[in-house]
Amino acid sequence: MLQKLKALKANAIQELESIDIAKELESWRIRYLGKKSELTQILRSLASLPIEEKRAVGACANEVRAELEDNLRQKEQALQKAQLALSAQKESVDITLPGRSFPRGHLHPITQTLYEICDIFGSMGFRVMEGPEVEWDYYNFEALNIPEEHPARDVMSTSWIDYETDSGQRPMLLRTHTTSVTARTIETMSPPIRVVEPGRVYRYEASDATHTPMFHQIDGLVVDKGITMGDLKGTLYEFARRFFGEERKVRFRCDYFPFVEPGAEMAIECLNCGGEGCRLCGNSGWIEILGAGMTHPEVLRRGGIDPEVYTSFAFGMGIDRLPMLRHNIDDIRLFYGSDLRFLKQF
């Protein structure tokens, strides 16, 4: 009998080991541990055995039963684990594969810069004004104290429109600065005025790394009672602080523009060398950012504003330079080359 139990155990364990699907465990259990199983029958038949044998076989049979039950539990756990491992393999995702993209376009760096500048001035109460790009000589020059043959015209080489008046004059041009919008604003609006005027401007110039025949500017104009040069300085310093950062040093020096008096120029500490002097800043340590000043009384008067009642400041700044400085771009032509390899970086 003991021999039989031994063989049964060996059989059962061998069979159990070969099982690799959870479903088959149940039939194994029924076969070896179920009510009709050999083992159960042996246990039931114990009563008929003599006492000595009953004790020995009973102990052995119970042992075998416990052992088989234990093996079954272990096998169940092992199969469960294997199952989990298997499904983990099937269900997991490779998190390093790229996601399904939502194609995103980018705004041009010049547009981004213009938005940012208009936001900064907007928060100081400036509204945005625009004006024509094809302009009359009057608004681009005459109204701004730059009559014909004025040397200030030389630094703004002009592209003229092929249009002659009956008297043979050529009064139409591509505006050389957005200050032409200032001339129009003075003429059409009444004080108080607080505006910025962004847009494209044009010069009769060949392209190189720092020049293009078309670029962007923004002009600003404030007209009110009691506007001072201190307010001009304050406004521009605030702009510089917000655009270039708190720690960037600023310089405000005397300069000349025919439509302002006193005139000024604002420069910031060179972003490249931090004021030490390098090629970018022409060894000066400073980068000129904008021209400004108190609007010339003659310019106000010509536009119908009484300079005895109102004072005014104006400023004008090139836009393209700013993203060039910020992103370390060394060639202005990249802005107008429409090269996606460049534009997608912003």
d(CA 142, CA 148): 8
* Shortest separation between residue 301's beta carbon and another protein, angstroms: 11
Per-residue x/- marks for another protein, 71-100, CB under 8 A?
Answer: --------------------------xx-x
In terms of CB distance, is 61 or 221 closer to another protein?
A: 221
In terms of CB distance, is 44 or 253 closer to another protein?
A: 253
d(CA 25, CA 70): 13
Per-residue x/- marks for another protein, 151-190, CB under 8 A?
Answer: xx-xx---xxxxx-x----x-x-x----------------
Specify the DSSP class assigned to residue 99: P
**Lookup: tokens for 143:** 């109204």
d(CA 34, CA 69): 11
| Contacting residue, 22, 84, 87, 115, with another protein by CB under 8 A | 115
Give CA separation, 335 vs 102, 138, 206, 254, in Å: 25, 30, 16, 31
CA 216 to chain centre: 22
Task: State the CB neighbour count (10 A cutoff) for residue 176.
Answer: 22
* Shortest separation between residue 307's beta carbon and another protein, angstroms: 9
* Shortest separation between residue 330's beta carbon and another protein, angstroms: 18
* Shortest separation between residue 183's beta carbon and another protein, angstroms: 14
| Contacting residue, 70, 150, 188, 245, with another protein by CB under 8 A | 150
* Shortest separation between residue 271's beta carbon and another protein, angstroms: 19
For residues 285-314, which are near another protein according to CB under 8 A?
A: 294, 296-298, 311
242 Cβ partners below 8 Å, 6+ apart? Answer: 120
Bridge-based pairing of strands 311-318 and 214-224 is antiparallel
* Shortest separation between residue 309's beta carbon and another protein, angstroms: 11
* Shortest separation between residue 255's beta carbon and another protein, angstroms: 6
| Contacting residue, 24, 116, 142, 255, with another protein by CB under 8 A | 255
For residues 220-249, which are near another protein according to CB under 8 A?
A: 222, 224-231, 233-235, 237-238
Inter-residue long-range contacts of 260-263, CB under 8 Å, 24+ positions, other chains counted? 260/291, 260/292, 260/293, 260/294, 260/295, 260/296, 260/313, 260/314, 261/293, 261/294, 261/296, 261/297, 262/229, 262/293, 262/294, 263/291, 263/292, 263/293
Bridge-based pairing of strands 193-202 and 214-224 is antiparallel
In terms of CB distance, is 42 or 191 closer to another protein?
A: 191
| Contacting residue, 40, 71, 272, 284, with another protein by CB under 8 A | 284
**CA-based end-to-end distance of the chain:** 87
In terms of CB distance, is 38 or 261 closer to another protein?
A: 261
204 binds another protein (CB under 8 A): yes
261 Cβ partners below 8 Å, 6+ apart? Answer: 293, 294, 296, 297
Q: Using CB under 8 A, which of the segments 32-40, 52-60, 68-76, 197-205 binds another protein?
A: 197-205
In terms of CB distance, is 34 or 213 closer to another protein?
A: 213
